Structure 1
Amino acid sequence: MDLGIVGQAAGLFAVTNIDDILILSLFFAQGAGHRGAGRRIFVGQYLGFAAILAVAIAAAFGATFLPAAAAPYLGLLPLALGFKAAWQAWKHRDEEEDEQQATEGGPKALEVAAVTFANGGDNIGVYVPVFASAGVSGMSVYAVVFLILVAVWCFAGRFFATRPIIAKALSRWGHVLLPLVLIAIGLLILIEGGAFGL
């Protein structure tokens, strides 16, 4: 395995996915104390990133499943999930924290996958030319490195969410931050892509 390609793949992943660590930290904070929440977040992150990878690889071979004009509308996914999370936070604002945790159950795998895919939709445009020029063997290296680094990112998100000072802040403000971050991501994707003539 060419170490140069491994290094390039690791660098490309880190640069294009740095914002995912914040989102993952918020998801892990939301899932704290819920049985199976960590596993659902890992599964969701892998599902979402595998979808990004599949679309990018297919596009590198010339297949396009998602028209370029449709990509900005992926912003509707995190926007909708952000509004849902905001509604849940508002609905349970007067409940005790323990009761709130019991009713919410933490993030679901498909919600995490949807946010991951929508947030990484712009990465596809970066990955396609890189994959196309790397050839099949190089593309395989990129895919393996990316999938390994998804786990590293998940562990980093969990690590940050469990640091005492960060965990305290996220437990106090996470229910407000998660909807805000999701809504901001959704709006950013919609606006940067020119969806709805924005």
Structure 2
Amino acid sequence: MDGIIGTIATAAGMFAGTNIDDIIVLTVLFLSSRASGAPRAWQIWAGQYAGIGVLVAASVVAALGLRIVPDDRVGLLGLVPFALGVRGLVSAIRARGSGQDASPAVASGPIAVAGVTIANGADNISVYTPVLRTIGTGATAVTIAVFVAGVALWCLAGSWLGSHRRIIEIVERYGQWIVPAVFMAIGGLIVIGSGVLVKIF
């Protein structure tokens, strides 16, 4: 029993530690959903589960000794949220020029949400891989189950944080600028923090 409890505690700590920044992303997505209707709540949940699923699958594959993406290029995934932010900003500028209201949404479906989740958690693979390499099949199954529960908890937390009326009013008014800016900042921090630009240039 101690072994299972220890595995659960380790998995919970590992999930929380590597995904704490996802709370910000999920909050922004749920705020956007409430302010503009896009992405829908189920799309956020589906995208988050798909994104975390891809990260865990990649970690399992890496734990078996295979590499999908070279370690020194993982940071380039930060270009995904950055590009979504740029697209949202361009849409806002065009809408303002034509006198129309712009939607603050930059991730309009589960695939885009999954892409942001993967990009934001690409460095998770370097944490999950050595752990999954050293534990058995049973402990891996328990760890994945904890991650499944963790995603639900994270989505509920993001939904709760994104449900405050005053914040929603601000997003409804300025969201076409705030949401793209947040996504561009997240993408920029991922790319710069990974040091991939220094390695390339």
Q: For the superposition of Structure 1 and Structure 2, which TM-score range results when normalised by the shorter chain?
A: 0.7 to 0.9
Alpha-carbon displacement from aligned partner over 1:47-75 (angstroms, at most 9, x marks no partner): 11111010011111212111112212111
Give the gaps of 5 or more residues in structure 2: none
**Partner residue of 2:64?**
61
Alpha-carbon displacement from aligned partner over 1:127-181 (angstroms, at most 9, x marks no partner): 1111112222211111111011111111111111112233333333433232222
Separation of aligned partners in 2, 1:39 and 1:170: 20
2:110 counterpart letter in structure 1? A
Aligned residue pair count? 194
Q: 1:36 to 1:24 in 2, by over 3 A?
A: closer
Q: CA deviation at 1:104?
A: 6.0
Separation of aligned partners in 2, 1:106 and 1:116: 11
1:143 aligns with 2:148: no
**Preserved CA contact (<8 Å) 1:30 1:106:** no
**Partner residue of 2:159?**
158
Separation of aligned partners in 1, 2:124 and 2:39: 29
2:52 counterpart letter in structure 1? F
**Partner residue of 2:50?**
47
Separation of aligned partners in 2, 1:36 and 1:83: 17
1:73 aligns with 2:80: no
Q: CA deviation at 1:13?
A: 0.8
User: Aligned with 2:123: secondary structure?
Assistant: helix
Q: 1:182 to 1:73 in 2, by over 3 A?
A: same
**Partner residue of 2:23?**
21
Separation of aligned partners in 1, 2:67 and 2:148: 22
Q: 1:14 to 1:172 in 2, by over 3 A?
A: farther
**Preserved CA contact (<8 Å) 1:45 1:113:** yes
Separation of aligned partners in 2, 1:173 and 1:125: 37
Task: Tell me how large the CA RMSD over aligned residues is.
Answer: 2.2
Q: 1:172 to 1:7 in 2, by over 3 A?
A: farther
Q: 1:106 to 1:191 in 2, by over 3 A?
A: closer
Give the gaps of 5 or more residues in structure 1: none
2:183 counterpart letter in structure 1? L
Q: 1:35 to 1:111 in 2, by over 3 A?
A: closer
Separation of aligned partners in 1, 2:51 and 2:148: 11
1:117 aligns with 2:118: yes
Separation of aligned partners in 2, 1:105 and 1:134: 39
1:23 counterpart letter in structure 2? V
1:5 counterpart letter in structure 2? T
Identity %: 36
Q: CA deviation at 1:86?
A: 1.4
Separation of aligned partners in 1, 2:50 and 2:169: 29
**Preserved CA contact (<8 Å) 2:7 2:142:** yes
Q: CA deviation at 1:5?
A: 1.1
**Partner residue of 2:10?**
8
**Partner residue of 2:178?**
177
Separation of aligned partners in 2, 1:67 and 1:25: 31
